[in-house]
Chain A
Amino acid sequence: KQEVTQIPAALSVPEGENLVLNCSFTDSAIYNLQWFRQDPGKGLTSLLLIQSSQREQTSGRLNASLDKSSGRSTLYIAASQPGDSATYLCAVKGGSYIPTFGRGTSLIVHP
């Protein structure tokens, strides 16, 4: 059974810092990995999708990498802003076609 772990569980940083959020998974036989953000009381917003054959994806200040063999992904946020404050979740899709989610990293960026 796939297990997904996200570290740290919570993070509080001053504006402007570069951040790294970590996601690890136990079964490396995956199809893709997707990063989301969730604002309080809201649904999940897709940030980046990395296919199993890819090593990284970039969108604006966000960069996600994937090392399938070691079961790890990182989400890099450059020059963090207060508007980046949210919970960030990663989800891994494997052979069951059912994405498994981590518990998320709660990020606060203070001015």
Chain B
Amino acid sequence: GAGVSQSPSNKVTEKGKDVELRCDPISGHTALYWYRQRLGQGLEFLIYFQGNSAPDKSGLPSDRFSAERTGESVSTLTIQRTQQEDSAVYLCASSSSGTDYTGELFFGEGSRLTVL
């Protein structure tokens, strides 16, 4: 696609429910990142995918968070048993290569999650 696409743009859920957020990167981009941005806060790294390598999950805040990506295509971030502190904007970014220092990062519009 022309840019990074994320869905849904807005999600309101009840505490304890599971949610799935989707990211469709720019075609041909091998690197994909998920970040979280709480209201008034900076970007917090969650997980990084590079091609078919094992993902770097070092930023995931708890085992309720997981993400998948098949090859160089769509990624899904899943949050199980949501808590109110999970309320945030979840941003996805892709680049032509994570390990290539020339890789420019492009972001989607984000998925705003509100947990009631």
Residues of A within 8 A of B (CB): 31-32, 34, 36, 41-46, 49, 51-52, 89, 91, 93, 96-104
26 contacts between A and B (CB under 8 A): A32-B101, A34-B104, A36-B107, A43-B4, A43-B6, A43-B91, A43-B107, A43-B108, A43-B110, A44-B91, A44-B107, A45-B107, A49-B102, A89-B43, A91-B105, A97-B48, A97-B50, A97-B98, A98-B45, A98-B48, A98-B56, A99-B33, A99-B45, A101-B35, A103-B41, A103-B42
Known: A51-B102, A52-B101, A93-B101. A102 touches B42 (CB 8 A): yes
Report yes or no: B33 in contact with A31, Cβ–Cβ below 8 A: no
> At the interface, is chain A mostly helix, strand, loop or mixed?
strand
**Cβ distance A68 to chain B, nearest Cβ, rounded Å:** 12
Query: Within 8 Å CB of A51, what residues of B?
Result: 101-102
Give the 8 A-B residue pairs with the shortest CB-CB distance, closest first: A31-B101, A44-B107, A101-B43, A43-B107, A103-B42, A43-B109, A97-B98, A49-B104
